[in-house]
Structure 1
Amino acid sequence: MTRQTLPPETGSDFARLSRRIKDAGLLDRRPGYYTLRIGVVTALLAGAWAWFGWLGDSWATLLVAVLLAALFGQIALLSHDLAHRQVFRTRRPTGIAGRLAGNLGIGLSYGWWMDKHTRHHANPNHEELDPDVAPDILVWSKDQARASRGLPRFVGRHQAYLFFPLLTLEGLNLHWAGIRAVAKPGLRRRGLEAGLLCTHFALYLGAVFLVLSPLKALVFIVVHQGLWGVYMGSIFAPNHKGMPTLTGDERPDFLRRQVLTSRNVRGGWLVDTAMGGLNYQIEHHLFPSMPTPHLRRAQPIVRDYCAEIGVPYNETGLLDSYAQALRHLHLAGEPIR
């Protein structure tokens, strides 16, 4: 039977796209890929700390700080994939691996982040519902700028210029958010998360201050945590910042809600690796449980389907994605200026 004689597809726009993706086998698990990826990242992390110990009380350990910043980012990306159940189908192994990677590995509360990120996926770029565009130090819309007070109002005047410098604090902010999450009731497996976080901080600070003199230790922490923060912000900023935002009762159907508020970033294997596949943000938001290596293969299917139904599909280069995000921040702060 030719394509022309097949019966017309039925269901919602997303249902029709989902059938095409499923028929292509792109929702199937990739255990071999994740076994290799987890093994490589774990080996590199162990090697980095072994190198740190071998160098001893030396300024050369700052090279290890740079490497650890990249590795912490890669572990965070693995935690992200785990939270979306890209690796395991069931909750128990997902939770165990996620907390080991997040809480113990990098000092990031897996439970806190999963709750926050789930709300983001449900309502991306919605000013009242997406925690990633809630006003904090930065403001993401002119309305938020007009309502800002204190430090956000001061920063908001020039936030486009301050964005990357402020990212140097993002690593510490993630640690602090985890500490606050385990300090109050409501977090699932709160005691376990708290214990793993305490273990991470004890091992990390113990190793750094045991091997390095106090001054070198402080500089090591500043370099490591600062670069990790910049890396994390550089991964997530290109995906939604500068894309349309929603407010109030604005709620398009699922497909349009995800596609219209997301931006893909073009690039080869280096961009794919550095961003952990999140440069295919549109495909990831439509199919969060899709394994990372399948996102590239899903892209032409999704892009062609969006063209077929007349939904704009936004894709740009890495540098232009940052430029769009910074222009949006500058415009958002205009009422304050």
Structure 2
Amino acid sequence: MIPAQPPASSLPVNHVTRRFAALSATIRETGLLERAYGFYAVYGAVLALALGGVVTGVILLGDSWFQLLMAAALAIVLTQLAFLGHEASHRTVLASGPANDRLGRFLSTLMVGISHQWWMHKHTRHHGNPNRVGKDPDIDMDTIAFQEEDAANARGFLRWINARQGWLFFPLLTLEGINLHYQSIRSLVTSGTRRQRWQEIPAIVAHFALYLIPLFWFLPLGMAFAFLGVQMAVFGVYMGASFAPNHKGMMIVPADMKMDFLSKQVLTSRNIRGGWAMSILMGGLNFQIEHHLFPSMARPHLGRAREIVREHCANVGVPYTETTLLQSYAIVVQYLNRVGLAARDPFDCPERVAMGR
């Protein structure tokens, strides 16, 4: 015989789970999960005009080394388009999920030249387990080591880089644009489904054809290569400098550690002060805590949500981290240098050195 269910009033209450439920209810009641069609319409129109302005500038300048300024401007516009694609991938921009997916794929593949499926797979895993060992691909070993064990196991030239990686971080970002394109296309070719390859490879090929053929046709060979180099370098630095401040140097979650959703997202994320100007500069990533708690929230609502989330975290005793942009960069550099100590002496990781053991 199945025992009778106790009355609701006598059921045990999970206060940890309710911490986020209460916050979510407040956010929903204030209307902060509603769409912001006007903002994205204006934002998209401005980006279209900016892209047209860059193309016009390239044509008018002709055979001039001032073209490198246009290359930097193009990188900024492409990064902003990537930000918009990121928001569409979170189904923030348009009313329906499929429409957002189509917009995100269009912006990622045709406009920016990066695989949408690669980005979605990688970014979804990151959002589910930010800074968790073995689960978050953003802290996996690449050129930069984000964990002492990875730095200690590095060999050869990579070990030399890891030992100095904090100071080398921003110079290395000049190559991140190339790395993003390479990693995404390689993943699409090796891991994408047949449908994903048919959807995305033609769009990525069209992106580079529409970009590179006119560039090398219109400009002298050396200037065309310089233009491409500057555009890729600025794109990489801008992308890296926008994403790095959000989690690097925050709590690293052990693989077997259990955390509630609110703590997991807040303790591993960092906000950047600066208001609307910073929100435009960083594509809304300056409100990283709110973005992780409510991924589908439109960018114009994140600032108001910040006030509610910060107050709620103070009430429930969850530390809420917010710094200036320059402070966040200093934290990132210090953190990477601290991790990199393990590459100098694999037998003395930074934690053991700090504890004098």
**Short-chain TM bin:** over 0.9
What is the deviation of 1:114? 1.1
Q: Which sections of structure 1, spanning at least 5 residues, go unmatched?
A: 1-7
Check whether the contact 1:120–1:132 (CA below 8 A) recurs between aligned residues.
Answer: yes
* 2:272 is the alignment partner of 1:281: no
What is the deviation of 1:251? 2.9
What is the deviation of 1:9? 12
Question: Number of paired residues?
Answer: 330
Q: Structure 2-normalised TM-score?
A: 0.89
Check whether the contact 1:9–1:16 (CA below 8 A) recurs between aligned residues.
Answer: no
Q: Deviations over 1:125-176 (max 9, x none)?
A: 1121000000111101212212223443221010011100000011111111
**Which residue of structure 1 lines up, in the alignment, with residue 88 of structure 2?**
82
Q: Aligned ranges for residues 65-214 of structure 1 at < 5 Å?
A: 65-187=71-193, 189-214=196-221
**Which residue of structure 2 lines up, in the alignment, with residue 267 of structure 1?**
274
Check whether the contact 2:58–2:67 (CA below 8 A) recurs between aligned residues.
Answer: yes
* 2:30 is the alignment partner of 1:24: yes
**Which residue of structure 2 lines up, in the alignment, with residue 39 of structure 1?**
45
Aligned counterparts of 2:104 and 2:113: Cα–Cα separation in 1: 12
Aligned counterparts of 2:245 and 2:166: Cα–Cα separation in 1: 14
Aligned counterparts of 1:216 and 1:138: Cα–Cα separation in 2: 31
Aligned counterparts of 2:258 and 2:52: Cα–Cα separation in 1: 46
* 2:57 is the alignment partner of 1:55: no
Check whether the contact 1:126–1:245 (CA below 8 A) recurs between aligned residues.
Answer: yes
Aligned counterparts of 1:9 and 1:135: Cα–Cα separation in 2: 37
Q: Residue type of the partner of 1:304?
A: E
Q: Residue type of the partner of 1:56?
A: G
SS of residue paired to 2:343: coil
**Which residue of structure 2 lines up, in the alignment, with residue 5 of structure 1?**
none
Aligned counterparts of 1:301 and 1:12: Cα–Cα separation in 2: 16
Task: Give the alignment partner of residue 317 of structure 2, picking from 293, 310, 320.
Answer: 310
Check whether the contact 2:92–2:100 (CA below 8 A) recurs between aligned residues.
Answer: no
Q: Aligned ranges for residues 232-247 of structure 1 at < 5 Å?
A: 232-247=239-254
Check whether the contact 1:243–1:262 (CA below 8 A) recurs between aligned residues.
Answer: yes
Check whether the contact 1:136–1:152 (CA below 8 A) recurs between aligned residues.
Answer: no
**Which residue of structure 1 lines up, in the alignment, with residue 231 of structure 2?**
224
Q: Which sections of structure 2, spanning at least 5 residues, go unmatched?
A: 1-12, 345-357
What is the deviation of 1:61? 1.1
Check whether the contact 2:72–2:231 (CA below 8 A) recurs between aligned residues.
Answer: yes
Q: Structure 1-normalised TM-score?
A: 0.95
Check whether the contact 1:139–1:152 (CA below 8 A) recurs between aligned residues.
Answer: no
**Which residue of structure 1 lines up, in the alignment, with residue 4 of structure 2?**
none
Check whether the contact 2:68–2:227 (CA below 8 A) recurs between aligned residues.
Answer: yes
Q: Residue type of the partner of 2:297?
A: M
Check whether the contact 1:258–1:282 (CA below 8 A) recurs between aligned residues.
Answer: yes
Task: Give the alignment partner of residue 256 of structure 1, picking from 255, 263, 286.
Answer: 263
Q: Which has the larger radius of gyration?
A: 2
Check whether the contact 1:182–1:191 (CA below 8 A) recurs between aligned residues.
Answer: no
SS of residue paired to 1:129: coil
RMSD: 1.6
Q: Residue type of the partner of 2:328?
A: S
What is the deviation of 1:109? 1.1
Identity of aligned residues (%): 47
Check whether the contact 2:129–2:135 (CA below 8 A) recurs between aligned residues.
Answer: yes
Aligned counterparts of 1:254 and 1:89: Cα–Cα separation in 2: 26
